[in-house]
Amino acid sequence: MSMYPGEPKRRGLALTIIGAVMMLILAPAAFVIGTVIGVKAAVDLVQDVPMVQSGNTVPAQAGQVLDLYAYIGADSSGDGVDSSADPSFGDVPACTVTGPSGQDVEVRPATGTAVWTRDGMAFGSAGSFTAESAGDYRIACGDKAALVPDGDQAKKAGEQAGWGIGLGLAIATVLGILGLIMLIVGIVKLVNSGKERTQFRLQQQMGQWQQPYYR
């Protein structure tokens, strides 16, 4: 409690604290949470995708587009989707596809460099093919396993990861900017109110010194 009645109150402390909390705690937390949500959604999709050993078959419907992700090396980063491969993995093996009647199926070149990781293994984008008729299609990508997601699954996995990271970044940016504004306004108010309090005290002290002395 002030020793001077009527002394101006300190202003801006709450704004300063709230702004700092938004910048230093809430904004980073929003980014992390958004990233985790997006990555988890992508992980769930990756875990549901068929894994086919080299020479084995995968069922497909007529007209269905299937993407091919060939094994490129061991990976300990956990299940998920990355936008590009570590250069140490080297080239992605070429894949061949044989149709239900034994005919060769055209494999279109990969249009991206996405890497899927699952069960400690990394799989690089090796292309895609369209099933000409319903049946089982034999997949061979070197001598290792391959992931064969539906084209929509592959697209959705990337979108899920990007959506989560993007949303988290957007919220973090908004919180960070608002927090910065509140912090600046709070500091300005603190400084101004501090000056007002100091000036008020000086005036009170000067008033006491100037009071007449009676004997």
Per-residue pLDDT of 107-126, as tens digits, reads 999 887 788 888 888 999 89
User: What pLDDT shows up at residue 178?
Assistant: 95
Residue 87 is classified by DSSP as G
- Where is average pLDDT lowest: 29-33, 47-51, 186-190? 47-51
* 3-state SS record for 52-70: ECCCCEEEECCCCEEEEEE
Q: Is 96 helix (H, G, I), strand (E, B) or coil?
A: strand
Give the containing element (helix H, strand E) for 147: strand 146-147
Contact, 199 vs 24, CB < 8 A? Answer: no
Instruction: Give 4 or 24, the one with higher predicted confidence.
Output: 24
Share the mean pLDDT of the chain.
84
pLDDT digits (tens, 9 = 90+) for 82-92: 766 666 677 88
Question: Using CA of residue 170, residue 174, residue 179, residue 180, what is the dihedral sign?
Answer: positive
Strand 80-82 with 121-130, pairing? unpaired
pTM of the predicted structure, to 2 decimals: 0.61
Secondary structure (3-state) at 41: helix
- Among the residue ranges 51-55, 152-156, 179-183, 193-197, the one predicted with the least confidence is 152-156
Mean pLDDT of the region 181-210:
82
What is d(CA 182, CA 29) in angstroms, rounded to the nearest whole number? 18
Question: CA-CA-CA-CA torsion for 199, 204, 206, 209, nearest 10 degrees?
Answer: -160
Specify the pLDDT at position 69.
Answer: 92
Per-residue pLDDT, 134: 95
Given a cut of 80, whether residue 3 has pLDDT beyond it is: no
d(CA 64, CA 129): 8
| Predicted pLDDT of residue 14 | 92
- pLDDT score for 144: 86
